[in-house]
Amino acid sequence: MRFVSGEHPIIAYYGETDAARYPLILVIGREPNANQVIANTVGQYDFRLAPLCGFWNTSYGMLARVVGLDVRGLKKLCVERRGSPLIYADSLPHCLPNTTANKRAYRDRVATEKVVTHIASIFSHRELVDRVGLVIMSGLRSSLFRPARLAIERECEFLTTPVIDLPFFFGTNTKKIQRELTEENRRLLSSIFERFEVA
């Protein structure tokens, strides 16, 4: 993925989302597909620079289907509004290109303390986190991600922010993701989107 800044931000938002007031959906994946160092800063992403990014497209598609749009329509709206309800972070404190042959070996070497510190750093960016109405953990069901999952759940419990656990945001999981969204999940996603739409 290509980002606006030279480093990979620990939380990424689209356009001028940081200056808005509508609620947000924080999607937390595995690790960034990049050859960068994660910086403990917030920064911008731009889906127009990576139109084939499966993670972004599937997460936008997840929300779009819930609110009766398609991916293109939702992205068009975000471009027009210069913002998006979707912001992103990752559960592990390193970047890992998709071309890496054995990702498990890299993930297995990350100390639990580093993971917990990384998650705490994500949630320390209160200028965005205080607006988060839902946290989605994406693709973190493997035992390798257990320390991150537990740390995320603790942070969400402290903030009383709803958190859901979904399959990895990749195109082949689209139907499975939709099946796993409960009616309560859908209502919350719709509510967040509606406040973005009228902002």
Angle at 138 between CA 133 and CA 140, to 5 degrees: 120
> At 76, is the pLDDT very low, low, confident or very high (cuts 50, 70, 90)?
very high
Q: Evaluate if residue 139 carries a pLDDT over 80.
A: yes
Q: What is the mean pLDDT of residues 63-88?
A: 98
Measured CA to CA in angstroms, residue 144 lies from 5, 94, 182 at distances of 29, 14, 26
Q: What is the mean pLDDT of residues 8-18?
A: 97
E-strand ranges in the chain read 8-14, 24-29, 38-45, 86-90, 132-138, 163-166
CA distance 31 to 46: 17
Residue of higher predicted confidence among 67 and 110: 67
Residue 5 burial class via C-beta count within 10 angstroms: exposed 0-12, middle 13-18, buried 19 and up: middle
Contacts of 66 (CB under 8 A, 6+ apart): 181, 186, 189, 190, 193
Q: pTM for the full model?
A: 0.95
> At 105, is the pLDDT very low, low, confident or very high (cuts 50, 70, 90)?
confident
Task: Tell me the pLDDT of the chain averaged across its residues.
Answer: 94
Instruction: Calculate what percentage of the chain has a pLDDT beyond 90.
Output: 86
pLDDT for res 1: 45
Measured CA to CA in angstroms, residue 187 lies from 13, 85, 177, 178, 199 at distances of 23, 15, 15, 13, 18
- Helix, strand, coil percentages (3-state) for the chain, rounded to 5, are 45, 20, 35
pLDDT for res 71: 97
Q: Evaluate if residue 17 carries a pLDDT over 90.
A: yes
Q: What is the mean pLDDT of residues 54-73?
A: 97
Q: What is the mean pLDDT of residues 68-94?
A: 97
Q: What is the mean pLDDT of residues 73-91?
A: 98
- H-helix or E-strand containing 62? helix 54-66
pLDDT for res 2: 46
Q: Evaluate if residue 95 carries a pLDDT over 60.
A: yes
Residue of higher predicted confidence among 34 and 74: 74
Domain ranges of the chain: 8-197
pLDDT tens digit string along 152-181?
999 999 999 999 999 999 999 999 999 999
Q: What is the mean pLDDT of residues 178-190?
A: 98
Alpha helix (H) residue ranges in 96-182: 103-108, 112-123, 126-129, 146-159, 174-180
pLDDT for res 5: 53
